[in-house]
Amino acid sequence: MEIICDTSFLMVLCYEPVKNIDYLDSKFGKTIFLIHPRIIKELTQIKHSGKIKRSKIANLALEVTNKEIENKNFKYISDKEDNNLLYTVDSHLLTLSLQNKCPLATIDKILMKRALRRGADIVTLKNNKIIFVHSNIKSNQI
C-alpha cells in the first residue's frame, strides 16, 4: 500500500521510535511512503531556519528519506500541478491522496478532519503507534 506523507508525520516517524511499524505491512501488504517534493522543500527550510531541535529533526528526516528511497521503502511522488502554489502543501497532499486513492499520513488534527470529511483514509501516530483510520465517506470529488 502506498501512503502519502506530510511533513509533520515524516519528522515524527524519523525521530520517534514507532512500536508497531510492521502493522500496516501485516494488514495491507508492503507499505511504501510517498514523499512529494514540497515536503523535501519544507524539511530543507526547517533545517535551515528552525530552532536547533526542530532543525536537527528535519535534517534527520531528510537523511532517512534519502536512505529509505534507496531501500525502496519510500518513493517520490510528483504531479502535473507541482508548480501550482495556489494550494497550501496540506491541500495539495490531500488532493493527491484523493486522486491516487491512497491514505494520507499526518499528525495534524485539522488536516485529519478535512481528509476524513472528503473521503480520504488516514494513517497517524498515537502513543508512538501507527493508527489507520478509515473514512466512512467514499469520495466522488477530486
pTM of the model: 0.88
Buried residues in 56-74 as b, exposed as e (16+ CB within 10 A) = ebbbebbebbeebeeeeeb
pLDDT at site 78: 79
Q: Which residues pair with 5 in a beta bridge?
A: 105
Domains of the chain by start residue, with CATH: 2-133 (3.40.50.1010)
**Average pLDDT, consecutive stretches of 10 residues, N- to C-terminus, the chain (142 residues):** 95 88 87 94 94 95 95 86 68 92 95 94 92 77 44
Q: What is the DSSP string of 78-142?
A: --TTTT-TTS-HHHHHHHHHHHHT--EE---HHHHHHHHHHT--EEEEETTEEEEE--SSPP---
